[in-house]
């Protein structure tokens, strides 16, 4: 029975020889590709020819690259065989020139076959399993992700010259303010911005073991944004003209967030830090946001302090450790990582990434946004190379780990108790979307965008759920060939970090994630799940609100009794008296009452706009 024998080949760390995985290579494995390819081709033809629209079904999007690779391989093998036999015949007839040509053609066909099956090109990601949640949902509404879409938020005409997308002529501040107000209320399931924030803070503090308390005066909030387009580190703070049309965090959305924290929550501006610890804060962004939100700590690259900006320093009492089990990845690592001071010493962390794909990470959302949470570049000499655990590589690095069940550096960053482990809110900026790390903007074809900018924001208290939803959007929209500009989310292993983060303390990799060197993370970082389909966009809690355990995607705040200040389910003279007592007050006034700021969006003054909202529900 020799045909049943197999050869055991363990997967080992190249430095230590330690076994980190295994596989068995059967002598019959060479049949796997042609059999699978033929089956995929037959399945694709049977399903798609009668109804071409089925080509967009998830199962057909998986089958097509396998089938097309099989066709290329079959053509290459067949063509090579025919050319080889013609070469032999020509040699027997002493027709040497013709024989040489046939040999060249045969080799060409072989190369064609190899190009269709070359494992080094990149693996398509694993088949999507729908509505199969893993992990533990977080948040006042567990696993909830709020998605707010308003096409009126953006009207940029595209191109590479002014006006640019960050300008107020291209992105409407008033619309963005309203979107954020809707988003925070939708996330918390509350009727007012003030109640929504209070619910979010209380839920977070309970999870952190601080009790059922809201925000307390003096507590600090750190916000991590993404200024990777300042990668060339222009010392004057001017973003290079060639990338001004690329996508960075919208200053309008930053202003909406900061104003809510200051005016609605009551955070002192000096207790809020915002920036990218690895990059310089560009002048145009600082000037726009600082004008609306003075007093905030605007962080910029260590060693550089432009007007009004604070250079990042390190908190040497907050070391950061990497849990990578492969000693080869630690070779040459001589420098210890530390968390930047403003992040480490904050009480709350807000992760504020941009909706982008990535040319070696597949996607770059809240998980990869943390690559800029440390003050050095990901592959800086002497430090642990964060690029080691990408699902693909495009820089000649020997390290890439396509597939599932691997250590992912993102998870250490998401879990450190003084960094991602205290994430109170994830806010994904999807007003515009960018392809690859350098944020090449593109309009989206899928409904409801219909060849327009995404004009969206995503909010969640669950960092894993937030990235899972955003992945589903990008995976559907950017479904090109693996490794192409429109296909980066298709890399094998793109969402592996979400599986790993959700499954802590027992991830598929078997790794003990221990970024604080205190015994390891003990709780799931959030819930991971894929929607049912791109049209309905339903997750398990949408399909089963009572017993669903995964993600819930909501698109609007609750409709209810706005103006019921005394909580008796009536809007009457008692509520009117509360509104009258706060009339024309602003934050800081003795009679200021944030619950009465019920206009949409909240504008930090109790005036006729709030009275109009109150009157809409009078005596209900």
Whether pLDDT at 256 is above 80: yes
| Structural domain total, the chain | 3
Whether pLDDT at 268 is above 80: yes
Residue 522 lies in a domain: yes
- From 524, 554, 584, the end of a domain falls on 554
Residue 568 lies in a domain: no
Whether pLDDT at 19 is above 80: no
Residue 564 lies in a domain: no
Mean pLDDT of 100-119: 64
Q: Is residue 422 located within the same domain as residue 476?
A: yes
Of 362, 316, 323, nearest in space to 20 by CA: 323
Whether pLDDT at 438 is above 50: yes
CB 584 within 8 A of CB 170: no
The DSSP string of 215-250 is --TT--EEEE---GGGTT--TT-PPPGGGTTS----
Q: Rounded distance, CA 38 to CA 393, Å?
A: 30
State how far the alpha carbon of 291 is from the alpha carbons of 263, 276, 288, 308, 606, in Å: 15, 19, 6, 11, 23
Q: Rounded distance, CA 612 to CA 598, Å?
A: 9
48-59 pLDDT tens trace: 666 554 444 445
Residue with tokens 């080691």: 388
State how far the alpha carbon of 487 is from the alpha carbons of 248, 357, 478, in Å: 21, 9, 5
Lowest-confidence region among 134-138, 191-195, 467-471? 191-195
Higher model confidence: residue 421 or residue 115?
421
Structural domain that includes position 70: 27-117
Q: Is 420 helix (H, G, I), strand (E, B) or coil?
A: helix
Mean pLDDT of 507-515: 97
| Sign of the torsion formed by the C-alpha atoms of 139, 319, 306 and 239 | negative
Q: Rounded distance, CA 396 to CA 392, Å?
A: 10
pLDDT band at 530 (very low <50, low <70, confident <90, very high): very high
Q: Is residue 507 located within the same domain as residue 360?
A: yes
Q: Is residue 91 located within the same domain as residue 194?
A: no
Q: Is residue 442 located within the same domain as residue 355?
A: yes
How confident is the model at residue 595, as a pLDDT?
A: 87
Residue 3 lies in a domain: no
Pairing of strands 456-460, 423-435: antiparallel
Q: Is residue 353 located within the same domain as residue 302?
A: yes
Q: Extract the tokens encoding 332.
A: 């040459």
How confident is the model at residue 508, as a pLDDT?
A: 96
CB 353 within 8 A of CB 414: no
Q: Is residue 424 located within the same domain as residue 459?
A: yes
Q: Is residue 174 located within the same domain as residue 106?
A: no
Residues in Cβ contact with 126 at an 8 Å cutoff, skipping those fewer than 6 apart: 403, 404, 492, 493
Whether pLDDT at 70 is above 80: no
539-598 pLDDT tens trace: 999 999 999 999 999 999 998 778 888 777 788 888 899 999 999 999 889 998 888 998
- From 527, 554, 581, the end of a domain falls on 554
Residue 52 lies in a domain: yes
pTM, two decimal places: 0.79
Whether pLDDT at 112 is above 70: no
Q: Is residue 213 located within the same domain as residue 168?
A: yes
User: Which neighbouring-strand residues pair with 22?
Assistant: 10
Q: Rounded distance, CA 79 to CA 110, Å?
A: 8
Residue 18 lies in a domain: no
Q: Is residue 320 located within the same domain as residue 391?
A: yes
pLDDT band at 62 (very low <50, low <70, confident <90, very high): low
- From 117, 150, 181, the end of a domain falls on 117
How confident is the model at residue 286, as a pLDDT?
A: 97
Residue 530 lies in a domain: yes
Q: Is residue 229 located within the same domain as residue 362?
A: yes
Across 268-341, the runs of DSSP E, i.e. the strands, are 272-275, 297-300, 309-311, 314-320, 337-340
pLDDT band at 111 (very low <50, low <70, confident <90, very high): low
Residue with tokens 């363990």: 10
Q: Is residue 604 located within the same domain as residue 517?
A: no
Would you say how long the chain is, in residues?
Answer: 620
Residue 260 lies in a domain: yes
How confident is the model at residue 113, as a pLDDT?
A: 59
464-501 pLDDT tens trace: 999 999 999 999 999 999 888 899 999 999 999 999 99
Q: What's the CA angle centered on 179, arms 534 and 589, to 5 degrees?
A: 155
Q: Is residue 70 located within the same domain as residue 168?
A: no
């Amino acid at each position: 029975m020799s045909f049943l024998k197999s050869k055991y080949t363990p997967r080992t760390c190249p430095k230590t020889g330690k076994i980190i995985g295994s596989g068995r290579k059967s002598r019959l494995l060479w049949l796997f590709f042609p059999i699978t390819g033929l089956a995929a081709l037959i399945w694709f033809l049977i399903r798609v020819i009668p109804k071409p629209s089925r080509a967009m079904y998830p199962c057909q999007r998986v089958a097509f690259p396998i089938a097309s690779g099989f066709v290329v391989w079959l053509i290459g093998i067949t063509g090579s065989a025919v050319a080889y036999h013609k070469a032999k015949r020509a040699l027997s007839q002493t027709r040497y020139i013709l024989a040489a040509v046939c040999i060249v053609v045969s080799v060409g066909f072989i190369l064609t076959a190899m190009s269709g099956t070359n494992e080094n090109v990149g693996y398509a990601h694993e088949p999507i399993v729908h509505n199969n949640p893993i992990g533990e949902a977080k948040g006042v509404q567990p696993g909830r992700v709020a998605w707010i879409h308003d096409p009126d938020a953006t009207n940029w005409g595209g191109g590479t010259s002014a006006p640019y997308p960050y300008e107020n002529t291209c992105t409407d501040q008033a619309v963005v303010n309203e979107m954020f107000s809707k988003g925070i209320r939708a996330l918390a399931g509350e009727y007012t911005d003030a109640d929504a924030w209070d619910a979010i803070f209380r839920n977070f503090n309970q999870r952190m073991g601080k009790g059922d308390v809201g925000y307390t005066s003096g507590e600090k909030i750190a916000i991590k944004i993404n200024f990777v387009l300042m990668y060339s580190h222009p010392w004057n703070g001017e973003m290079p003209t060639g990338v001004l049309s690329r996508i960075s965090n919208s200053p309008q959305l930053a202003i909406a967030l900061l104003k809510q924290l200051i005016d609605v929550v009551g955070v002192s501006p000096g207790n809020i830090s915002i920036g990218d610890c690895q990059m310089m804060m560009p002048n145009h962004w600082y000037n726009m946001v600082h004008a609306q939100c003075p007093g905030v700590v605007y962080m910029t690259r260590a060693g550089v302090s432009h007007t009004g900006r604070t250079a990042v320093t390190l908190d040497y009492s907050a070391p950061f450790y990497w849990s990578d089990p492969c000693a080869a990845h630690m070779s040459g690592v001589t420098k210890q990582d530390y968390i930047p001071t403003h992040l480490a010493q904050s009480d709350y962390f807000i992760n504020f990434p941009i909706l982008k794909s990535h040319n070696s990470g597949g996607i770059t959302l809240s998980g990869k946004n943390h690559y800029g949470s440390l003050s050095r570049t990901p592959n800086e000499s002497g430090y642990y190379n964060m690029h080691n655990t990408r699902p693909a590589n495009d820089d000649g690095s020997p390290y890439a780990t396509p597939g599932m069940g691997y250590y992912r550096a993102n998870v250490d960053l998401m879990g450190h108790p003084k960094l991602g482990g205290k994430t109170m809110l994830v806010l994904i900026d999807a007003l515009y979307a960018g392809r690859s790390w350098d944020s090449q903007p593109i309009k989206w074809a899928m409904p409801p965008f219909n060849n327009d900018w995404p004009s969206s924001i995503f909010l969640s208290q669950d960092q894993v759920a937030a990235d899972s939803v955003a992945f589903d959007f990008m995976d559907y929209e950017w479904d090109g060939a693996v490794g192409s500009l429109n296909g980066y989310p298709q890399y094998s292993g793109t969402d592996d970090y979400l599986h790993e983060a959700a499954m802590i303390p027992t991830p598929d990799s078997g790794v003990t994630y221990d970024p604080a060197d205190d015994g390891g993370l003990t709780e799931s970082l959030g819930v991971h799940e894929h929607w049912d389909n791109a049209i309905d966009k339903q997750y398990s809690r949408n399909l089963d609100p009572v017993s669903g355990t995964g993600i819930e995607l909501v698109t609007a705040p609750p409709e209810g009794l706005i103006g019921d200040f005394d909580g008796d389910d009536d809007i009457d003279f008692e509520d009117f008296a509360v509104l009258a007592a706060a009339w024309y007050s602003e934050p800081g006034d003795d009679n200021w009452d944030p619950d009465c700021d019920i206009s949409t969006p909240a504008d930090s003054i109790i005036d006729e706009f709030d009275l109009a909202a109150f009157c809409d529900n009078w005596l209900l």
